[in-house]
Structure formats: structure tokens, C-alpha cells
């Protein structure tokens, strides 16, 4: 066996960590099992980050759950694996090469032919007959995963009580007997490896007095933010990776006092959201890019009717059905130009769970203030990966309904009248007209999909078209004052300056830590608002850059093209990925080291 070492490539100077990968077939409960393990570590005060890779199959196909645990804050997954839990032979065949020298592979000897596996000599093989143990303890082999989780904790020399407490919380309400059986299985798995791993180097300990954290994915963060922002209507047709958001709201609709509608298709969802917004609801729908394509006609209706709607577009690899369960950042241009002709829209893009929560409530304020669609543009990587986070700060939440008259008599609002009469689409300096809800007295209005005059009546004259179109487009100038600004990370002056949007932020920030340890300084500009494009902020950032790099998850360089279009300049370098996988910090690290040689970084 080779000598143990922490990882290949970049150094990891920020405290002990352990990386665990669980692999098997779809339907084996890998994700649920892994999340039980993540909760155990998070409850012990540690930072966690996990991703799940799975094909678009109900059963069969290879599934992988990857969990990274650290004493220090972490922002993404990494490549090395310290402990591989192989629920079948395929997991060993596919992932043994990822295990670091001296790492551990846990397997059931009834499922894996270990001695015949090429390369097994450089790692520690730990045979644990988890199916037999599960049947012996509970009479059910379905609990073999729980035995495997206990064995993984034993290999890491981590107290098993954190896992049994997590299992107790998970199962006690369903059945005390099942909870006891799961805890017993976990203890037996732990006993099977803990005594054999006393000298195993990849261990981690609980952190005393750490703040309490929850584990959250991007869908849950957006949902919590929307609830904080007062959402009252959500409609959607299930489509990965937005389906979990529908499940999230459906489980909380009565308590939250909202209506949740599982529609017959995406077009119906968008139409319902437009109707709900007309009635005064804070209304939202969400889908993947393919589902949003079916919403586009009604999205145009929202634009011309000046409806305050929020639309989640959570990208996956496309076109067509594409890779339904994998990630991409290729819908930016599509969302910018969706629907015929032109109308103003705002596109905001979260980079992590904290961003997703904050934008979840800010989106509704922007939609109301601007009376135009607001798109939350995210991707599968953020929406379905999970991380430990401290409870979100709800004290910063504000509710701003903009120019809205919700009740009473419109004649009591002189600011909403023109020559003593209410006009729904009266041209204004900032492009936003006063909006009265149905039921407000003396507020007659017509809302439809036609170009209209200031009352809402269909009107096809050239002057009226120009007047109403100009009015709507003026909202973009107001939007520039209201939308979230880009976020900056790193020093003011750096060897390399990176621009990105979306969840690429996490791997970039992880690589920045390692590069700092190598003496290479990097700063980052994360675009939170992609449209209207923050040209002034991007220009200022690039003006100060020694060397610039744009990192994005698409083939065409959509963000790089926007910089060229809006800032009239080129960036120095680009890094793109479009194979359905997220960026890894190791690859970003290697790219930056090629662009900033050691001698240049030291010489500065």
C-alpha cells in the first residue's frame, strides 16, 4: 500500500477535512443516506458541502453522492476522495482512481470482488458485509446503507453518536422501532471499521461551541427567501432541477397561507402566475430552460401587460431534453431575449445559498417596483447541491410593493390620477404607472396581450406604440438603481482578476484560497445582476486588472460576449465548461497558475 497523503495537486492549508464518496445504483437510497451523514457532521459543528450525480433514470444507472467535510468554511466539492463507500462493483471500477494513496474503500465482500480489482494495493480495503449485518440486526437488507454510513464514520474515527442522533430525528416520528433498528445498524457498521482504522490519517473531530447550522440546497434557499418576501401563489409543472421547489412549497402552503398549483404544463403555470399577479398576489413559477421555453408566449404577456411576476429558470444541460440531471450556464442569452420583440426584464443570478435566499425575497420587490418580470437565473449545480449554512438573516428583509393601490377608492390617490381619471398605463418619467388591484373603487382597467393605450384599450397607431414602448423600456434605467450590485472578493489589486456569474462563484472562491497559499493573488467580480448589465462596475473592475479571466459554464462565452457588447472591450482569457459537470477548483487553480507563472507572482 502506498503511503497516505492528503491530496494530489494544490495544498489544503485550511485545517483538517475528510472527503467521502458513496456510489451505487439509482434506487439504493444513496442521496438520502449521504444526507444523513452530512447532518451528523453539521450537527457536530463542521462545515459540509455535497453534490449528487445521477442519470435521468428511476432505477438503475450509476449514482454518486460526494460529501466534503471541513473544520473551516468551504465553497465547493474537490476531486480527491479519502473514503469511498462502494455499494457495488461498478463504484470501485469507476472511482478507485479518485481515492488518494492510503485512502479507504469500504465494500461488501458479497458485492465486490476486491482482490481482482486492479490498483487496490495502494489503498486500504475494508470489507464490511453490510447486507448480512442489516438482515441480522433488523431483518431488512434495505438498512444496509445505514450500516455503510456507520462504517464510514468508523473509518474517519468520528463519534457515531452524531449519526445515531441524526437517524433518530429522521425516523422517530415515522416509527420508533425503525429508528431503533437504524441506530443499531449504524453502531454495528461503526464497530466493523473503527478498531481497524485507529492509524488511518483521514480523520476529523467535532468542533466545540460552533454556531448551529442547517443544511440547505439552492431550491430550499430560494423557497425560504420567497416565503420571507411574502409569496402567496406558486405554479409549476415538475421539471428537474426546479421540481424540488414545487415540493418545498407544497409541503408548506397551508402554514404559509399561499396557494400552490401543480399545473398541466409550463404554459399554464406562466399564465396562472400572470393572472395571480393581476389580482395582487406575489406570484412565481419556475422550471428548467426547456420548461421556460414553453412559457415564453405567456412571458411576453407578462411583459406587455406589465405584470409583476417572478420566474425561476434553473438551467440544466440542453438543448432539447439534453442531460436532464446535469448542469450548465447556457440559458443567459435565451432568458435575455425570450419572447418576441422587446420588453424590460431583470435577470438576477445567485452564486450560493445566501445569495439564493436574499434574491428570493428581493425578486418580488423588484417585480413590484418595476411592474415587469424578474428572472432568477440559476443552475442545477446550485439548486441541488447542499451545504451547511447558518440560519439566514431575516432582519434584512423588506417588503416594497411599489406604486400599488390595494384597497379603497382610487380617487383618494391624486398621484394615480391624470386629469382626475385613473389610467393603468399612464406614461411616467420612470416608466412605472400606478397599479390598482381589482376591487379598488373607480379604478377601471383593461389588461390584455395587445399593444394598448393608457387605459389598456387595444391601440395600433404609430404614436401610441412609440409612447407605450418608450414607457416600458424606461424601466431599465430605474432598474439600474434598484438591482443588486456585483459582489467583489479578494484584494483590490491582484495578479489575476476573474469575472463570473452564478454558482461558478463557489469553485472560484475555493481556488482563490489555494492560490493565496501559493503566493498568487486573485480577485473576483461575481455578477449578481446579469441584466440590466452592470457595465460601469465591470469596466471599473477590468480597468484595475493586470490580467483578466472570465469563467462560465457554456460553449459560446455568453458572459464574455456581453462584456464585449456592453463594455466595448475584450477580456484577456476565458475558461469554459459545457460537459454537464460543474467547475472544480483544481482546474481553476491549474488555469490560473498557467496564466500567472510563479516568477511573476513572486516578482510583484
- Pairwise pLDDT comparison (465 vs 175), residue with the higher score: 465
Q: Which residues contact 182 (CB under 8 A, 6 or more apart)?
A: 138, 143, 146, 167, 170, 171
Asked if the domains at 17-197 and 216-396 fall in one CATH topology, the answer is no
Mean pLDDT of 380-405: 97
Compute the residue count for the chain: 604
Query: How confident is the prediction for the chain on average, in pLDDT?
Result: 94
What residue spans define the domains of the chain? Answer: 17-197, 216-396, 404-480, 487-603
What's residue 56's pLDDT?
Answer: 87
Q: Are 84 and 96 within 8 A, CB to CB?
A: yes
| CATH number, span 216-396 | 3.40.50.970
Q: What is the pLDDT of residue 600?
A: 58
How does pLDDT run across 54-96, given as a tens digit for each residue?
998 877 789 999 999 999 999 999 999 999 999 999 999 999 9
Give the distance, in angstroms, between the CA of residue 58 and the centroid of all CA atoms in the same chain: 23
Return the CATH fold of 17-197: Pyruvate-ferredoxin Oxidoreductase; domain 3 (3.40.920)
Q: What would the pLDDT profile of 473-485 be if each residue is shown by its tens digit? A: 999 999 999 999 9
**Structure confidence at residue 3 (pLDDT):** 37
pLDDT value at 176 more than 70 = yes
> Are 451 and 464 in contact, with CB atoms under 8 Å apart?
yes
**pLDDT value for 15:** 61
Q: Taking 90 as the threshold, does the pLDDT of residue 322 lie above it?
A: yes
pTM of the entire predicted model: 0.95
- State the pLDDT at residue 10: 54
Burial class (CB within 10 angstroms; exposed 0-12, middle 13-18, buried 19+) of 320: exposed
- State residue 4's pLDDT score: 38
- Identify the band that residue 174 occupies on the pLDDT scale cut at 50, 70 and 90: confident
Average pLDDT over residues 6-34: 76
pLDDT of residue 287: 98
pLDDT band at 234 (very low <50, low <70, confident <90, very high): very high
| CATH code, 487-603 | 3.40.50.920
Burial, 69: exposed, middle or buried (Cβ in 10 Å; 0-12, 13-18, 19+)?
Answer: buried
- Tens digits of residue pLDDT in 274-307: 999 999 999 999 999 999 999 999 999 999 999 9
CA distances from 437 to 151, 308, 418 (A): 60, 12, 18
**pLDDT, tens digit (0-9, with 9 covering 90-100), for 206-227:** 999 999 999 999 999 999 999 9
pLDDT for residue 199: 79
pLDDT in tens, 116-127: 999 999 999 999
Which has the closest alpha carbon to 106: 194, 1, 198? 194
| Predicted pLDDT at 599 | 46
SS3 343: coil
Amino acid at each position: 500500500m502506498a503511503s497516505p497523503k492528503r491530496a494530489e495537486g494544490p495544498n489544503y492549508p485550511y485545517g483538517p477535512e475528510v472527503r467521502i464518496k458513496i456510489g451505487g445504483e439509482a434506487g439504493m437510497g444513496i442521496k438520502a443516506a449521504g444526507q444523513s451523514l452530512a447532518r451528523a457532521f453539521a450537527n457536530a459543528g463542521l462545515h459540509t458541502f455535497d453534490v449528487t450525480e445521477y442519470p435521468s433514470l428511476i432505477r438503475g444507472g450509476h449514482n454518486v453522492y460526494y460529501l466534503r467535510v471541513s473544520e473551516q468554511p468551504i465553497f465547493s466539492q474537490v476531486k480527491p476522495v479519502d473514503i469511498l463507500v462502494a455499494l457495488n462493483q461498478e463504484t470501485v471500477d469507476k472511482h478507485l482512481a479518485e481515492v488518494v494513496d492510503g485512502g479507504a474503500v469500504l465494500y461488501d465482500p458479497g458485492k465486490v470482488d476486491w482482490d481482482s480489482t486492479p490498483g487496490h494495493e495502494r489503498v486500504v480495503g475494508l470489507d464490511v458485509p453490510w447486507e448480512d449485518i442489516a438482515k441480522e440486526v433488523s431483518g431488512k437488507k434495505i438498512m444496509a446503507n445505514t450500516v455503510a454510513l456507520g462504517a464510514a464514520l468508523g473509518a474517519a474515527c468520528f463519534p457515531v453518536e452524531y449519526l445515531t442522533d441524526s437517524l433518530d430525528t429522521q425516523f422517530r416520528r415515522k416509527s420508533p422501532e425503525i429508528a431503533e433498528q437504524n441506530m443499531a445498524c449504524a453502531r454495528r457498521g461503526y464497530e466493523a471499521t473503527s478498531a481497524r482504522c485507529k492509524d488511518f490519517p483521514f480523520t476529523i473531530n467535532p468542533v466545540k461551541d460552533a454556531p448551529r447550522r442547517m443544511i440547505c440546497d439552492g431550491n430550499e434557499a430560494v423557497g425560504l427567501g420567497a416565503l420571507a418576501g411574502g409569496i402567496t401563489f406558486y405554479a409549476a409543472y415538475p421539471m428537474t432541477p426546479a421540481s424540488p421547489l414545487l415540493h418545498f412549497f407544497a409541503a408548506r402552503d397551508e402554514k404559509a397561507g399561499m396557494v400552490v398549483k401543480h399545473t398541466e404544463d409550463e404554459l399554464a403555470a406562466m399564465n396562472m402566475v400572470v393572472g395571480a399577479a393581476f389580482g395582487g398576489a406575489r406570484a412565481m413559477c419556475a422550471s428548467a430552460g426547456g420548461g421556460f421555453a414553453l412559457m415564453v408566449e405567456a412571458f411576453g404577456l407578462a411583459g406587455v401587460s406589465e405584470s409583476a411576476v417572478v420566474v425561476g429558470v434553473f438551467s440544466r444541460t440542453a438543448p432539447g431534453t439534453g442531460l436532464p440531471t446535469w448542469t450548465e450556464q447556457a440559458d443567459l442569452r435565451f432568458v435575455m431575449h425570450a419572447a418576441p420583440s422587446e420588453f424590460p426584464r431583470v435577470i438576477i443570478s445567485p452564486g450560493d445559498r445566501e445569495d439564493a435566499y436574499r434574491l428570493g425575497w428581493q425578486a418580488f420587490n423588484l417585480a413590484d417596483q418595476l411592474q415587469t418580470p424578474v428572472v432568477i437565473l440559476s443552475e442545477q449545480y446550485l439548486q441541488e447541491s447542499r451545504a451547511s449554512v447558518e440560519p439566514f438573516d431575516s432582519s434584512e428583509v423588506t417588503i416594497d410593493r411599489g406604486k400599488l393601490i390595494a384597497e379603497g377608492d382610487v380617487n383618494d390617490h391624486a398621484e394615480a390620477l391624470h386629469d382626475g381619471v385613473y389610467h393603468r398605463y399612464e406614461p411616467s418619467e420612470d416608466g412605472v404607472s400606478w397599479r390598482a388591484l381589482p376591487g379598488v373603487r373607480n379604478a377601471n382597467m383593461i389588461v390584455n396581450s395587445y399593444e394598448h393605450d393608457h387605459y389598456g384599450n387595444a391601440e395600433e397607431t404609430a404614436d401610441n406604440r412609440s409612447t407605450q414602448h418608450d414607457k416600458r423600456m424606461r424601466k431599465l434605467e430605474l432598474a439600474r438603481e434598484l438591482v443588486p450590485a456585483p459582489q467583489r472578493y479578494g484584494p483590490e489589486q491582484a495578479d489575476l482578476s476573474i469575472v463570473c456569474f452564478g454558482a461558478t462563484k463557489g469553485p472560484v472562491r475555493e481556488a482563490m484560497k489555494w492560490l493565496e497559499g501559493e503566493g498568487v493573488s486573485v480577485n473576483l467580480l461575481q455578477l449578481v445582476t446579469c441584466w440590466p448589465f452592470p457595465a460601469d462596475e465591470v469596466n471599473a473592475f477590468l480597468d484595475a486588472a493586470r490580467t483578466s479571466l472570465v469563467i462560465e459554464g457554456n460553449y459560446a462565452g455568453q458572459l464574455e460576449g456581453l462584456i464585449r457588447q456592453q463594455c466595448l472591450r475584450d477580456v484577456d482569457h476565458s475558461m469554459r465548461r459545457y460537459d454537464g459537470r460543474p467547475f472544480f477548483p483544481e482546474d481553476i487553480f491549474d488555469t490560473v497558475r498557467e496564466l500567472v507563472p510563479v516568477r511573476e507572482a513572486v516578482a510583484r
